[in-house]
Amino acid sequence: MNTIISNKDEIIMSLVHYFVTEENYTPINVQGAQNEIWLENLEGPYKIVRINSKYIHNLEQYKLDLLRMNFVIKQIKKKTLSLKMNALNICLDLNNSVDLKVEDKNINTINVSDISDIKKNKILSKLFPKITTNNFSKTDNFDKLIHITDDINRKTAKENIKYEEVFKPKPIIITKIIILLCIAMYIVSLFIEDDFTTALLILGANNRSLVLAGGYHRLIVSSFLHGSLLHLLVNMYSLWIIGSQVETYIGKWKFLVIYLLSALMGSLFSIVIYENSLSIGASGAIFGLMGSLLYFGYHYRLYLSNTLTSQIIPIIILNLILGFTISGIDNAAHIGGLIGGYLATMLVGLKYKSSKSEMINGGIVYTILVVFLLYVVFKLV
């Protein structure tokens, strides 16, 4: 079947097809947007690509359009927690009298009035090298529309499969095992000695002097000990709620690594800050799981909508504030666990998101921080 495709429609189809299938951009919904398409890739040379088919006839209208575009970009920045966001503004119907030198520092505007202009444009060819080898040919064949639509649908289907694989419910195993271990350790602590504090010391409570005396196991074991039934119940409830999410999103073995590395970092922070106190409890590791959710939420923020800013971050801030205002809470372990969980998640990586270099950087930063904390502990002797 043959039909006539307008010049604008052909350019729009070709550009959307290229950016979605070759550069991994995702169409985003912008409220009130008409005759324009917004694409987003936070890892791309331009985080935002906007294809605007509206006719801009003079400089005043162009400046107003940039102002509106800036407003939309600010909203996207808030949603994605981006400090800086550059955008490529592709105009398809721009009057030749409009001076493109009048631009916003974060918005680069180019004029594409014909399908052949795509490859010729220096900005596009420099930042998107694959565009020079793409087949942007003029045609009036309706089959081109079908082909482009099929390609985009296949790409979207692949992305949906990845999304479903990450977010689909999975059996919770490691979280349950850790909860059972914590319960078992609490029961043992009730019967191992008449004095409860002595029992905790024997089992592995965290303390700077005892760690320096060779009790390095305390840095991990202390996260499985609890000082009261209420302490145990609160932590186990938190662990079940947060741990179930992290284990589902990241996987059971990566979850275990994150939990243990968070506990280690939290314990190191604790003995750096507190000299003589005993530190016990899973809360440092639980804060590590919050740090893991923070890292995950940032990388999957396009899928989680406003969950990162409306739930994850407020919960972390609220718990840290409670730690500073209520006596007897080891907030150093909480902060250390939070940092450790974030770095540990960076180290083990997120499926479909993390690169090898990013994982290596996470391992390096985590190791450097652990070595530094150990150095500080031994210098305090």
Active site residue 270: no
Residue 153 host element (H or E)? helix 142-167
Q: Which residues pair with 109 in a beta bridge?
A: 89
Q: Which listed residue (334, 354, 355, 357) is catalytic?
A: 334
Residue 113 Cα to chain centre, angstroms: 38
Task: Retrieve residue 66's tokens.
Answer: 């940039």
Q: How many angstroms separate the CA atoms of 201 and 98, rounded? A: 76
Active site residue 217: no
Q: Which of 175, 138, 190, 152 is nearest to 8 (CA)?
A: 138
Q: Which listed residue (14, 262, 283, 292) is catalytic?
A: 283
Rounded (10°) angle between helices 252-273 and 174-191: 40
Q: How many angstroms separate the CA atoms of 188 and 200, rounded? A: 10
Q: Helix, strand or coil for residue 102?
A: coil
Beta-carbon contacts of 194 under 8 Å, excluding residues fewer than 6 positions away, are none
Contact 211, 202 (CB under 8 A): no
Q: Which residues pair with 48 in a beta bridge?
A: 40, 87
> How many CB atoms neighbour CB 340 within 10 A?
33
Residue corresponding to tokens 């994150």: 258
Residues counted in the chain = 381
Please give the positions annotated as active site. 283, 334
